[in-house]
Amino acid sequence: MTQPVSDIWRLSEAQEEFDRRIVDLNSSGREVRPRSVARHAQRVARKLGRSTASSLLKTAPDMLKLRQKQDIEYKQRNFQRWRKAFELIDTLWVACEETGRKFNEYMRPQAVDDRDHVFEALTYLNSKVLLVSAEMICLMKGGFADGALARWRTIYELNVIAALLAQEGEMLARRYLAHSRVQAWERMKLAGDTNDLNLRDLKIKNDAEAALAVFGEDMTHFYGWAREITQSKRPNFASIEALVEHEHGRPLYKAASQHIHSNHRMPDELLGMSEAVAEGLLVGPSNSGMVTPLRLCAHSLVQSASTLMFRYPNIDRSAIVLAFVRLARKMDRLAMRIERRTLSTAGKATGLS
């Protein structure tokens, strides 16, 4: 519904008053120079800016109290709608975290004895997947399905890289682990932070120089650790993805990337606007569009856990992975069922169904 013109905040009252004063001065025969007008306009704007800032700070407590109340009420409605799915994703996350932590604790002594760099890389990647998936869950509970999907983009990259390291073995894992220090040192040099190094930064420098001595200058490139395996002078994520035949995930990966970049997207392309019955610009939370990020989060957690545990597979670990798979498949059905049922109920309540 379009607001009446009289109700729209025009943000032009001070400008109109200023213009009237200039017109009055001109009408009185006084010479008004453009430079003087510009200086006076700046003074008026500064004075008005100070008073507006003071007013905002004065009214902030009441405004924030109302906003916090609205936020709590929204989150309650969002959780009520998706409660079973949120509880399932929390269950899966906790199970994956506990399993990964205990697996790491149990297998680490053997991995250290074996100098198993693949295990080291996979435990790191699994921990990062758990961290980013926790961010996804937080965003979904907060009502930001598109933000959650954007974070899944990172999880997808982590799982693809984990699959490649598990596939290719020790040498590539060593390059991958060493690459972090080289990139950290490159960033420090770019920022000019190479003088008066503290002990931590000096260790980064020494580790980077040791990695470059062993693996060569390729490591200075962003995906330099994968340069040899991809046989590309400038490897990118797509070339890594192709090596593990994960191209089927690219459409979703590209969709998840849209919320990160600045290319134009029509408002109705947002997950948060997927159930909207009128046009609008989404600037806050929405309880729509959770199915895709819920499903992707669940399956990605399972993929990460399975890649890690199958480094040292046995029957027990296979059974745990299969249990996780069942939970992820349950999420597929549950999330879609919740969306259909709650949308139908809301439609009947509002007479829109």
Exposed e or buried b per residue across 122-143, where buried means at least 16 C-beta atoms within 10 angstroms of its C-beta: bbebbbbbbebbeebbebbbbb
Which residues are within 8 A (CB) of 324 and not within 5 positions of it... i.e. 6 or more apart?
Answer: 92, 95, 96, 301, 302, 305, 306
Written as tens digits, the pLDDT of the chain (353 aa) is: 445 555 677 788 888 888 888 888 778 877 778 888 888 889 989 999 999 999 999 999 999 999 999 999 999 999 999 999 999 999 999 999 999 999 999 999 999 999 999 999 999 999 999 999 999 999 999 999 999 999 999 999 999 999 999 999 999 999 999 999 999 999 998 888 788 888 988 999 999 999 999 999 999 999 999 999 999 988 999 999 999 987 788 899 999 998 888 888 888 899 999 998 888 999 999 999 999 999 999 999 999 999 999 999 999 999 999 999 999 999 999 999 999 999 988 766 655 55
Beta strands per DSSP E along the chain: none
pTM for this predicted structure: 0.88
To 5 degrees, how large is the angle CA 188–CA 191–CA 196?
Answer: 60
Cβ atoms of residues 110 and 144 within 8 Å = no
**What distance in Å separates the CA atoms of residue 228 and residue 32, rounded to the nearest whole number?**
71
- Predicted confidence at residue 349, as pLDDT, reads 60
- Predicted confidence at residue 243, as pLDDT, reads 94
